Amino acid sequence: MNWIVALTVVFVIGVNTLIWGSASVLRLIARLKRPAPTERRFSDEDVAVILAAHNEESVLADCLRAAAALLPRSQIHVVSDGSSDRTVEIASRFGVNVLDLQPNRGKAGALAAGIEHFGLRDRYRVVLLLDADTRLSSDYLTTGLPLFDAPDVVAVSGVVKTLTDPWPRTWRGRFLLNHRIRLYAVSQQLVKYGQASRWANVMPICPGFASMYRSDVLEQIDIARPGLVLEDINMTFEIHTKKLGRVAFDPRCAVAYTQDPDNWRDYTRQVYRWTLGYWQTIRVHIRHFGKFWLSVAMQATETTVSVIALMVMVPAMLLTVYTDTLAQRYGTPTVDGYMVVGNFDFRYVLVGFFLPDMLLTVYATISTRRPVLLLLAPLFPFMRFIDSFVTLRSIWAAWHTESNGTWVSPARRGAGTGQHLKLVPPLEERAS
């Protein structure tokens, strides 16, 4: 039993988490020795913001207000991708640059069209890709731009945090947001930070919600590659496969807040879209080889094995419960004359499944300083089953279907106060 429990622990925590978590710890130790300050390569004047929006009237103003607190409105560009609501009107009244695309082309197509239409590659040295439901923190640029000081850095990945203002009204919505808070803490601090080490440089996703790219590199990236539902994973893969440079990531730098889904329908749709985009990108780039692809293969294999194992665990547990409680009354099921008896040892579930998951929750609780995560800890493991089912669907779809890139945003919770983001007034208001 000991070796089975040990394998289950590794399976639940994840081989990737163990490997890259160790690398993250090494980076944290090395970070204690601060390097000497160097001259900044890029300043705020070098940055252009581009935002693709499809029917985002409920959140667009807050997003633009946060961006305008960091940069002049003349450096902010909105591409309305076939919107039928007040998206164009709100952006125009805000005084930013606006491009109204009709019909919609999908997020990737809208970004590519906006970059070309506004001439961002020629006019600016850095392009910040932003989502309409994202609010940049007040120190996004002051902490993010210095990561470009290393000459080999071509992209800076934003640090995603869940926007809790406004807070969902339902307990289901609050649970889903706490689940995302936990997931972001573990995946970013224990995985992405290690993957982004200078010696490794294998981070597979530079998220499109709020990340920065050097303009000269964008010329070599196929942003709107046909057949993909997501653009950000493909853009990151292209950086690695074309050996364009390094993707930088630091959990303290380039922080932005995003609205995560607060209902089951939007949550499962978003997970499906994310995982579908991941597997589609692997499919179109699979002919490449190297260190990055070794890391991707390890991650993809572990994901596939884990989701299949979790799906098998469910009927095994149900069969065991039936065998122990109902088989004597209703009979033991048979297949081709052989009795099917469940003898799943629930100690494996407790020691090998729930306890390791609890360790991840404890880490997330400490790192986020959010004690409520401990109260919800018994429920978090069940989210793995939901995510696994959605992931299995996306794996099959990625190899049998192609996407046109069109998108429907999750239901938005509207505007909040923005107090916890430490937002400052827009530059123009401060100047006056």
In-domain check, residue 397: yes
Torsion, Cα 248 250 253 255, to 10 degrees, reads 100
Label residue 201 left, alpha or beta by phi (over 0 means left) and psi (-120 to 50 means alpha): left
Distances (CA, A) of 135 to 61, 85, 243, 256, 362: 10, 21, 31, 6, 28
pLDDT, average across residues 122-146? 96
pLDDT, average across residues 46-58? 95
- Token pair of 209 as six digits: 């919600």
- Write the DSSP assignment of 226-275 as a string of letters: TB-S-SHHHHHHHHHHTT--EEE--TTSSEEEE----SHHHHHHHHHHHH
Q: Provide the 10 A C-beta neighbour count for residue 366.
A: 13
- Token pair of 188 as six digits: 């970013």
- Whether residue 3 has pLDDT greater than 70: no
- Whether residue 53 has pLDDT greater than 70: yes
The predicted pLDDT at position 424 comes to 46
The residue written with tokens 């329908």 in the block is: 265
pLDDT, average across residues 281-295? 89
Q: For 14-146, where are the alpha helices, taking DSSP H only?
A: 15-31, 60-68, 87-94, 106-118, 120-123, 140-144
Higher pLDDT, 158 or 318: 158
In-domain check, residue 41: no
Q: Provide the 10 A C-beta neighbour count for residue 305.
A: 12
Q: How confident is the model at residue 12 (pLDDT cuts 50, 70, 90)?
A: low
Burial classification of residue 336, based on how many CB atoms lie within 10 Å of its CB (0-12 exposed, 13-18 middle, 19 or more buried): exposed
Q: How confident is the model at residue 318 (pLDDT cuts 50, 70, 90)?
A: confident
Question: What is d(CA 389, CA 425) in angstroms, rounded to the nearest whole number?
Answer: 44
Per cent of the chain over pLDDT 70 is: 87
Label residue 50 left, alpha or beta by phi (over 0 means left) and psi (-120 to 50 means alpha): beta
Q: How confident is the model at residue 313 (pLDDT cuts 50, 70, 90)?
A: confident
| Angle of the 232-241 helix axis to the 264-285 helix axis, nearest 10 | 20
Question: What is d(CA 170, CA 166) in angstroms, rounded to the nearest whole number?
Answer: 12
Higher pLDDT, 315 or 285: 285
Nearest one of 251, 222, 275, 237 to 391, comparing CA atoms: 275
Q: What angle do CA 158, 162, 163 make, to 5 degrees?
A: 110
pLDDT, average across residues 213-223? 95
* pTM tops 0.85: yes
- Domain with 228, as residue range(s), is 1-30+128-326+334-426
- Whether residue 432 has pLDDT greater than 70: no
Residues 6+ apart with CB under 8 A from 146: 40, 253
In-domain check, residue 205: yes
Contact present, 189 and 22 (Cβ < 8 Å)? no
- Token pair of 375 as six digits: 């109260």
pLDDT, average across residues 216-231? 93
Q: How confident is the model at residue 420 (pLDDT cuts 50, 70, 90)?
A: very low
User: Containing H/E element for 291?
Assistant: helix 291-325
- Whether residue 423 has pLDDT greater than 50: no
The predicted pLDDT at position 86 comes to 94
Lowest mean pLDDT among 10-14, 170-174, 204-208, 327-331: 10-14
In-domain check, residue 103: no
Higher pLDDT, 263 or 405: 263
Q: How confident is the model at residue 407 (pLDDT cuts 50, 70, 90)?
A: low
Q: How confident is the model at residue 7 (pLDDT cuts 50, 70, 90)?
A: low
The predicted pLDDT at position 415 comes to 55
In-domain check, residue 169: yes
Lowest mean pLDDT among 262-271, 315-324, 335-344: 335-344
- Whether residue 418 has pLDDT greater than 50: no
- Whether residue 421 has pLDDT greater than 50: no
User: What is the average pLDDT score of the chain?
Assistant: 87
The predicted pLDDT at position 293 comes to 92
In-domain check, residue 418: yes
- Whether residue 422 has pLDDT greater than 50: no
In-domain check, residue 97: no
Per cent of the chain over pLDDT 90 is: 63
Q: Provide the 10 A C-beta neighbour count for residue 304.
A: 14
CA 177 from chain centre, in angstroms, equals 14
The predicted pLDDT at position 35 comes to 59
The predicted pLDDT at position 156 comes to 98
pLDDT, average across residues 256-281? 95
Q: What is the pLDDT of residues 194-203, one digit of tens each?
A: 999 999 999 9
Q: How confident is the model at residue 326 (pLDDT cuts 50, 70, 90)?
A: confident
Quote the number of domains for the chain.
1
How does strand 246-248 pair with strand 153-156? Answer: parallel
Q: What is the pLDDT of residues 369-393, one digit of tens each?
A: 999 999 999 999 899 999 999 999 9
The predicted pLDDT at position 145 comes to 97
The predicted pLDDT at position 210 comes to 96
In-domain check, residue 101: no
The predicted pLDDT at position 411 comes to 73
